[in-house]
Amino acid sequence: MKPKVYIARPISKQVEEYIGEHCDYKKWQGEGAIPLDVLMEEVKNVEGVLVQHAPITNELLDQAPHLKIVSNSAVGYDSFDLAAMKQHRVLGTHTPFVLDETVADLAMSLMLATARRVPELNNFVKQGKWNTQTKSQELFGIDVHHTTMGIIGMGRIGEKIARRARFGFEMDVLYNSRTPKPELEETYGIVYSELEALLKKSDFVVLIVPLTPETHHLMGEKQFAQMKNTAILINCARGAVVDESALVRALETGEIRGAGLDVFEQEPVLTDNPLLQMEQVVALPHIGSATEQTRAAMLMKAAENLVAGVTGGVPENVVKELQELLEE
């Protein structure tokens, strides 16, 4: 008998066929994200579940006595209650590497869009506001090339962003991360910096750290005060890495110039969020990895991890905090 699994997000035909070869599966057929009460019900009798960002809580795990693996079709896994998963001996996997270049491309797009005011000026033209009276200075942005980028989080994606900035835009690149990587300085001239110095020197501050208790509100009032008044914040990590109220104040008072945000503390972002009313903010709906090619690769990787986890194999991408479960 094939192991039972539940697929809690839409998947392609190819991925569905692959899972179907190895598992007896049921899938979420509704619109948008699966409601938590539905997921809670569906996990009761399965050995594996494929999700994207759905919170894996102690309460959910209590309902799922047969569950062996939660395969997350995303690289970030702040949605996992790691302690509860350890306690329930449930493996958690994610999808590293396959999205690095795509997310790095998006970080650069956000930086360019914010610095050169692309969405704002696109609206300006389309709304018929460009006319013979338009003063050219009204359309000015700021340069990106030959400026300084400070990257917070020099992991898989951070490194791809750094290389784009250094070699594509000839920027000076500083970074702050838990573990300095001296080889980056030797090979590419990408320089480790303490956080405060990085914030003081950077024209663009890019966030690409995991959301953890240590990085929650890493950027708050104090950090915005340390940034240049002309600097732009780019957040491609998770919304809660930034204290959004402090960001609103920093933008209102001109403490920083602008922000390019792919992620928000509350998603989908609420329409009354003041950030959405600000011209100097470029806002995107969490699309860092959202290209056809990359999402297909992520889903296939998530499916392979899922199948391995329920068929006695060793999933390739068990998150580091749960790897000890493989040894038991």
Ligand X SMILES: O=C(O)[C@H](O)CO
Q: Which stretch binds ligand X (CB under 6 A): 27-35, 71-79, 272-280, 319-327?
A: 71-79
What does the block give as tokens for 57? Answer: 């809580």
Place of tokens 């959004």: 244
Residue number, 99 or 241, with CB nearest to ligand X: 99
Instruction: Determine the size of the site formed for ligand X (CB under 6 A).
Output: 6
Under the binding rule (CB under 6 A), the answer on residue 289 touching ligand NAD is: yes
Catalytic member of 41, 59, 252, 267: 267
Q: Is 238 a catalytic residue?
A: yes
Is 286 an active-site residue?
Answer: yes
Structure-token match 């839409």, residue found: 10
Is position 7 an interface residue for ligand X (rule: CB under 6 A)? Answer: no
Cβ–Cβ under 8 Å, residues 116 and 248: no
Give the C-alpha separation, 232 to 254, whole Å. 11
Q: Does 288 bind ligand X (CB under 6 A)?
A: yes
Question: According to the binding rule CB under 6 A, does residue 234 interact with ligand X?
Answer: no
- Residue closer to ligand NAD by CB (options 64, 233) is 233
What's the closest the beta carbon of residue 121 comes to ligand X, in angstroms? 28
Least separation in angstroms between residue 44's CB and ligand X is 26
Q: Which is nearer to ligand NAD, 92 or 153 (CB)?
A: 153
Rg, the chain, Cα only: 22
Residue number with CB closer to ligand X (231 or 298)? 298
Phi, psi (deg, nearest 5) at residue 317: -120, 50
**CA–CA distances in Å: residue 168 to residues 105, 143, 145, 211, 306:** 11, 14, 8, 28, 38
- The yes or no reply on residue 295 touching ligand NAD (CB under 6 A) is no
Helix, strand, coil percentages in the chain from 3-state DSSP, rounded to 5: 40, 15, 45
Residue among 163, 217, 249, 286 flagged as catalytic: 286
Copy the structure tokens of residue 227.
């940034």
**Catalytic member of 94, 238, 257, 295:** 238
**Contacts of residue 243, Cβ cutoff 8 Å, sequence gap at least 6:** 217, 219, 220, 221
Comparing CB distances to ligand NAD, the nearer of 42 and 262 is 262
Helical residues (DSSP H) of the chain, grouped into ranges: 13-22, 36-42, 58-62, 82-87, 100-115, 118-126, 156-163, 182-188, 195-201, 221-226, 244-252, 292-310
Which residue of 29, 132, 136, 179 would you call a contact of ligand NAD, by CB under 6 A? 179
User: Which listed option, ligand X, ligand NAD, none, makes contact with residue 92 (CB within 5 to 8 Å by class)?
Assistant: none
Could you give the CA distance from residue 40 to residue 8 in angstroms, rounded to a whole number? Answer: 11
CA atoms within 13 A on the CB side of 177: 23
Count of C-beta atoms within a 10 Å radius of residue 323: 10
Give the one residue of 92, 150, 155, 260 binding ligand NAD; rule: CB under 6 A.
155
Query: Where in 99-138 is the site for ligand X (CB under 6 A)?
Result: 99
Interface with ligand NAD, residue 48, by CB under 6 A: no
Per-residue binder mask for ligand X (CB under 6 A), 87-106, x = binder: ------------x-------
Binders of ligand NAD among 201-260, rule CB under 6 A? 208-212, 214-215, 236-238
Contact positions vs ligand X (CB under 6 A): 74-76, 99, 288-289
Residues with catalytic annotation? 238, 267, 286
Using CB under 6 A, list all residues that contact ligand NAD: 75-76, 96, 99, 103, 152-158, 176-179, 208-212, 214-215, 236-238, 262-263, 286, 288-289
